[in-house]
Amino acid sequence: MVFDVGAHRGRMSRLFLDALPGVRVYAFEPQAELQAYLREQFAGESRLNVIDAALGDSEGRTTFHRGASTATSSRFPRNVTGRRYHRADFVMVDTTEVRLDTLDAFCAREGIERIDLLKLDTQGGERDILLGASGLLAAGRVEVIVTEFFAVSHYEGTPLLDEIWSLLRRFGYGLFDIFCGPHAVNGQLRYGDAIFVSPGFRSEHLDSAPPEP
């Protein structure tokens, strides 16, 4: 059971489908033009469901900021405080309203007991999404989380890596690995990806490994 949150054009969904024959993928994408693209690209693929919603810490409707590049669209506006760390042409062009859901509510409605892999790439919305999965996380029912993080602000008011890490640690999740992305011209790390694992996954698959030599 894989949740591809911020599916965009489905590159990661395709990798999951190709690598895992028995997988079921839920691809969450709030941008209407990308939803249409995903449905066309994965037409006839019964293992993938396109979900037309953004995820967060509450249910309802939310403002969504559309970027000049669809890959930079976000629930959050571009930052107006501090140094600009994003490309000058990667601005927001307009806003729209989209449906907002939580992982806890979605899984309860769909009868999904466990998520094996939760991938988050939502341009700053990752912490809110994890807050909306508090029930799942408290029960250890998300095995592995792969999340984008920011080291410096690219959007106004979005959490940085330490806040995501601190939140997950409260639920017993530990950092498995971290991957640094691009650096700014001043040498500052801009963003990257991190993998967190549940206590159960660590016990079964990591701590059961032979001791270090």
Mean pLDDT over each residue of the chain, to the nearest integer: 97
Cα dist from 13 to 18, 49, 87, 184, whole Å: 9, 10, 27, 29
Q: Is 213 part of a structural domain of the chain?
A: no
Which CATH number is 26's domain given?
A: 3.40.50.150
pLDDT at 98: 97
Q: Is 172 part of a structural domain of the chain?
A: yes
Chain centre to alpha carbon of residue 95: 20
Outline where 45-97 has alpha helix (H): none
Number of domains in the chain: 1
Q: Is 211 part of a structural domain of the chain?
A: no
Q: What percent of the chain has pLDDT over 90?
A: 99
pLDDT in tens, 96-129: 999 999 999 999 999 999 999 999 999 999 999 9
Q: Is 16 part of a structural domain of the chain?
A: yes
pLDDT at 68: 96
Q: What is the pTM of this model?
A: 0.96
For residue 35, name the pLDDT band (cuts at 50, 70, 90). Answer: very high
Nearest one of 147, 154, 145, 146 to 189, comparing CA atoms = 154
Q: Residue 96 is inside which H or E element, if any?
A: strand 92-101
Q: Is 187 part of a structural domain of the chain?
A: yes
Q: Residue 184 is part of which domain span?
A: 2-206
Q: Is 123 part of a structural domain of the chain?
A: yes
pLDDT at 54: 98
Q: Is 212 part of a structural domain of the chain?
A: no
Q: Is 185 part of a structural domain of the chain?
A: yes
For residue 174, name the pLDDT band (cuts at 50, 70, 90). Answer: very high
As a whole number of angstroms, the distance between CA 67 and CA 48 comes to 26
Mean pLDDT within 21-46: 97
pLDDT in tens, 36-88: 999 999 999 999 999 999 999 999 999 999 999 999 999 999 999 899 999 99
Helix, strand and coil percent figures for the chain, each rounded to 5: 30, 30, 40
